[in-house]
C-alpha cells in the first residue's frame, strides 16, 4: 500500500525541498520505491527543455521511480513570486482540481512512498478563490510540516498546524530544520514545539553548509509515520 504525504513549511524558506529529498533518500535506503512531486513551482528557467524548477529537479533526481519532468512539475511558472501572481502575469489560471488530477495521474505509477511538496507555506493563493492547501484537501493527504528553525518559528508552526487541522487534515509529523545557525535557545524552541504540536518529531536537521539528501536522511527517522524497511 502506497504511503503518500503532503509536505508544507512554515514559510517559503523553511527547507521543504531539502527535507523532502532527505525523506526520499531515507526511504530509498529502506528499499522502497519512491516518488516526489512538486506540482506548482514559481521560479523556473528554460535551459532548452522548457521551463524547469531546481526544487522539482531535486525531487525528480532523488526519487527512485523516474517520471517525466512534466509529471513531477505540471505547473511551471517563470517568475519567482506568489504562484497566483506569476500565473496572472502569464495569462494563466490555476485550478486545484486540475492540479490534484495531475498528481493523481503521476501517483498511479507503482511506488511505496510518495511526497507531494507544496509551494511556500500553507495559505498560498492559487487564485482569488482557492488556496494551494485545497490540493491536499482534495487528495485527502496527511501532512508533514517542515519548521524553519529561526526567530518566530513557534508562532508560524502553531498557526500552520491549526490551519491544517481546520482544513480537516492530519498533521502526521514535523521536522525541525535549522535555517539560522545562530538561533538563540534552539533546543528550548524545539522542546516547546514538541510539547505543543500533536504530531511526532521526525528529526532535527542541523544547519548544513553544503546539504545533500544523504546528509539530511541521516538526521531523520520516519518510523513514527509507518515508513519501514520493505
Q: What is the mean pLDDT of residues 204-219?
A: 96
Provide CB contacts within 8 A for 15, sequence distance 6+. Answer: 9, 146, 148, 177, 179, 205
So where are the chain's domains?
3-225
Active-site residue, 2 included: no
- List the catalytic residue out of 16, 38, 194, 229: 38
Question: Is the pLDDT confidence value at 46 over 70?
Answer: yes
> How would residue 1 be classed by pLDDT, with cut points 50, 70 and 90?
low
- Output the average pLDDT for the chain: 96
The per-residue pLDDT for 49 is 86
Question: What CATH number labels 3-225?
Answer: 3.40.50.300
Q: Kindly report the pTM of this predicted structure.
A: 0.97
Amino acid at each position: 500500500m502506497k504511503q503518500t504525504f503532503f509536505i508544507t513549511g512554515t514559510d517559503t524558506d523553511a527547507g521543504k525541498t531539502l527535507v523532502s529529498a532527505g525523506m526520499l533518500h531515507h526511504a530509498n535506503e529502506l528499499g522502497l520505491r519512491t516518488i516526489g512531486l512538486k506540482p506548482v513551482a514559481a521560479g523556473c528557467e528554460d535551459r532548452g527543455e522548457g521551463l524547469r524548477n531546481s526544487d522539482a529537479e531535486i525531487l525528480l533526481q532523488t526519487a527512485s521511480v523516474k517520471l517525466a519532468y512534466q509529471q513531477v512539475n505540471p505547473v511551471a511558472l517563470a517568475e519567482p513570486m506568489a504562484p497566483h501572481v506569476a500565473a496572472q502575469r502569464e495569462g494563466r489560471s490555476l485550478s486545484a482540481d486540475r492540479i490534484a488530477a495531475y498528481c493523481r495521474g503521476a501517483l498511479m505509477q507503482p511506488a511505496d512512498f510518495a511526497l507531494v511538496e507544496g509551494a511556500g507555506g500553507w495559505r498560498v493563493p492559487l487564485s482569488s478563490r482557492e488556496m494551494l492547501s485545497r490540493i491536499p484537501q482534495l487528495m485527502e493527504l496527511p501532512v508533514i510540516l517542515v519548521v524553519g528553525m529561526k526567530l518566530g518559528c513557534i508562532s508560524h508552526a502553531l498557526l500552520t498546524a491549526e490551519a491544517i487541522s481546520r482544513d480537516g487534515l492530519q498533521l502526521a509529523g514535523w521536522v525541525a530544520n535549522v535555517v539560522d545557525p545562530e538561533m538563540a535557545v534552539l533546543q528550548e524552541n524545539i522542546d516547546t514545539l514538541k510539547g505543543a504540536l500533536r504530531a511526532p518529531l521526525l528529526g532535527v536537521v542541523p544547519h548544513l553548509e553544503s546539504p545533500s539528501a544523504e546528509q539530511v536522511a541521516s538526521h531523520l527517522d520516519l518510523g513514527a509515520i509507518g515508513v519501514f524497511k520493505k
